[in-house]
Structure 1
Amino acid sequence: MSEQQAHLRLRKYLDRPEHAVWPGGFRPAELGTIDPRQAHAVLDLAFPGLVAPLTDWHANLIQDSEYDPSLCIAAISADGMVVGFVQCWTSNFVKDLAVAPAHRGQGIGEALMGEVFTRFAARGSTHVDLKVVTEETTARRLYARLGMVEVME
C-alpha cells in the first residue's frame, strides 16, 4: 500500500476462461452487502498503519471515479465474518488484496483473485494489473501461481 517502497507491476492476461474456486465454508460478497467496518478491519490487519481511518477510507472509496461495488469483494466465512477483501478499480487494477492473518494459507487470496479475474473477463477486459512491494515474497509467489507476469510501467 505504500508508494515509498519499491514495487513491481504485475499483469494477468485474461486470454482463457477464469473460474473462482472457493475453499469450503467461504463465499464471495460485494462490499455493498456487508458491513464496511469488517472490510476495513481486514485491510488494517494486513497493512497496519497504512489504511486511512474508516470514515475517510469508505468515503474516499465510494466517491472515487473508478469505484464499482461489484469490484470490491469480501471473502465471508461460514459464520458470516469478513476474512479477506479485494478492492479493484474499473481501470482493470487491483488496488488492495488483504486476508486476515488467522485465515492465510487457506486459499482465500487465490479465491478472491479468481473472482476478480472472472468479473473483469465478464466485462470484456483483456488483463488485470496490480502493484506488489518487491520484498513481499509471499504475495509474489501467490501472483506467480495465478499466472501473473511482470510488466513495465
Structure 2
Amino acid sequence: MNLKKIHIGEFIEHRMKELQIPYERAEKFLKCSEEEIKMIYKQSSIDTYLLLRWSKLLEYDFFRLFSGHLILYAPSRNVSPVLSDENKLPVFRKHIYTEEVKSFILEKITTGQMTPQEVILTYKIPKTTLYKWIKKV
C-alpha cells in the first residue's frame, strides 16, 4: 500500500467491491445517486464529513490512511505537550503507528531497500520502537 500519494476515491471503490455492497445501500446511506458515487471514486480528496460517512458505511477508518501519511512523510517537530491559551487543539505526544505503517517500514528493511538506520533518519521513528518491531518479526 502506497501512503505517499493517497487517492481516497480509489480506496473507497476498492472497499465497496471488497465488501460487495450494492449501490442501492450506499445511495440510501449517503443520500446520493449512483452517478454521484461513481464521481467520488474519481476524486483524490473529499469532504471530511462525507469521508466519515463512508468510513461508517464501509466499516473502515479511511482517516488512518492520512495519519499514516503524516507519520511517514510529514516533518516532525518538537511541540509542547501542554495546551496553551492560543492553542485549543490537543497535542499528541506519541505517534500512533498503524499496522500498515509498520508493515511498510518492515518490508523496506526485509527487502534490503533500507537499513534500520536509514529508516530512523528518514521517517524519524525512534530507534527503540523500530527494534521492537524488528524483534517481533
Per the normalisation by structure 1, the TM-score is: 0.26
Compare CA radii of gyration and give the structure with the larger one.
2
Structure in which a larger fraction of residues adopt helix: 2
Per the normalisation by structure 2, the TM-score is: 0.28
Structure in which a larger fraction of residues adopt strand: 1
> Which protein, 1 or 2, shows the higher relative CO under an 8 Å CA cutoff with sep ≥ 6?
1
